């Protein structure tokens, strides 16, 4: 638990930063702009999932490659996932974002088809295995289902597993996008079977460093144990919407050099 006086002052400070960064202007420089190209639920979640998967490294490169993925799916992700044939996958062979290559990309397309045809879509898989207080075990279950079909072992590294002590930053970010309704037009809130209170902060270098400077996090490694520690602190500040503070931590680190 945080010191009561410190909690009050810290909450006021961070709430101000949430208001500053949790607005439509944030979209302009963030990978979340890729799923914002769409209006259909399935298109949003598929574009969001694939964009979040490659969301590491240079932000401009992430956005450019997210747009490229959308182009490779003919700007209709859900229809492409369901109806592609082997010839449609040939152009994806040349896709590369850091260590995520064409083989990985094609595997993700095939696994997503399996998710939508055999498991009733992404939201259903996550909500079917959700716990009341956390989605971290759910992420591990999702990974097992995602790779239940034949696949290259190398591709598994592109979905992290919190039960193996990963912070799972990218998939926690994706879940924030889908579940949290911020009424500001940034996060989508299109998954109604899950609640913002179950979400975990997408912990990365920037948010982790700021959280430590603010006394929200003591653990030095950015791993699953650090995520749990940060979750606990953020739930003290707002139990219903703890990950809204991701905007504050990220903004302070990236835009303000806090």
Q: pLDDT at residue 6 above 80?
A: no
Cβ atoms of residues 170 and 202 within 8 Å:
yes
Angle at 137 between CA 252 and CA 168, to 5 degrees: 35
| Confidence grade of residue 4 (pLDDT, cut at 50, 70, 90) | very low
Burial (0-12, 13-18, 19+ Cβ within 10 Å), 96: middle
Q: pLDDT at residue 1 above 60?
A: no
pLDDT tens by residue, 127-149 = 998 998 999 999 999 999 999 99
How far the first Cα of the chain sits from its last, in Å, is 23
Cα separation, 132 vs 194, in Å, equals: 9
H helix intervals, the chain: 4-21, 41-53, 59-72, 77-83, 86-89, 102-118, 122-128, 136-146, 169-179, 205-213, 224-237, 245-250
Cα separation, 31 vs 88, in Å, equals: 25
Q: What is the pLDDT, as a whole number, of residue 7?
A: 80
pLDDT tens by residue, 27-40 = 999 999 999 999 99
What is the pLDDT averaged over residues 192-220? 96
């Amino acid at each position: 638990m945080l010191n009561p006086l410190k909690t009050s002052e810290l909450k006021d400070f961070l709430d101000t930063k949430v208001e500053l960064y949790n607005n439509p202007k944030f979209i302009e420089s963030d990978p979340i702009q890729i799923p914002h190209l769409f209006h259909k639920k399935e298109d949003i979640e598929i574009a969001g999932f694939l964009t979040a998967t490659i969301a590491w490294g240079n932000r401009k490169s992430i956005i450019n490659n997210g747009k490229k993925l959308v182009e490779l799916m003919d700007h209709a992700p859900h229809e492409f996932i369901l109806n592609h044939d082997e010839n449609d996958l040939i152009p994806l062979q040349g896709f590369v974002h850091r260590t995520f290559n064409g083989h990985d990309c094609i595997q993700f397309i095939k696994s997503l088809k399996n998710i939508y045809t055999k498991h009733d879509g992404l939201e259903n898989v996550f909500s079917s295995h959700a716990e009341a207080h956390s989605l971290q075990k759910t992420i591990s279950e999702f990974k097992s289902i995602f790779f239940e079909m034949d696949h290259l072992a190398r591709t598994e590294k592109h979905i992290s597993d919190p039960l193996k002590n990963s912070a799972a930053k990218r998939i926690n970010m994706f879940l924030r996008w889908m579940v949290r309704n911020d009424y500001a037009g940034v996060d989508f809130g299109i998954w109604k079977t899950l609640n913002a209170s179950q979400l975990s902060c997408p912990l990365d270098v920037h948010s982790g460093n700021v959280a430590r400077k603010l006394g929200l996090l003591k653990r030095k490694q950015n791993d699953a144990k650090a995520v749990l520690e940060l979750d606990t602190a953020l739930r003290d500040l707002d139990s219903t919407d703890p990950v809204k503070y991701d905007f504050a931590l990220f903004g302070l680190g990236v835009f303000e050099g806090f």
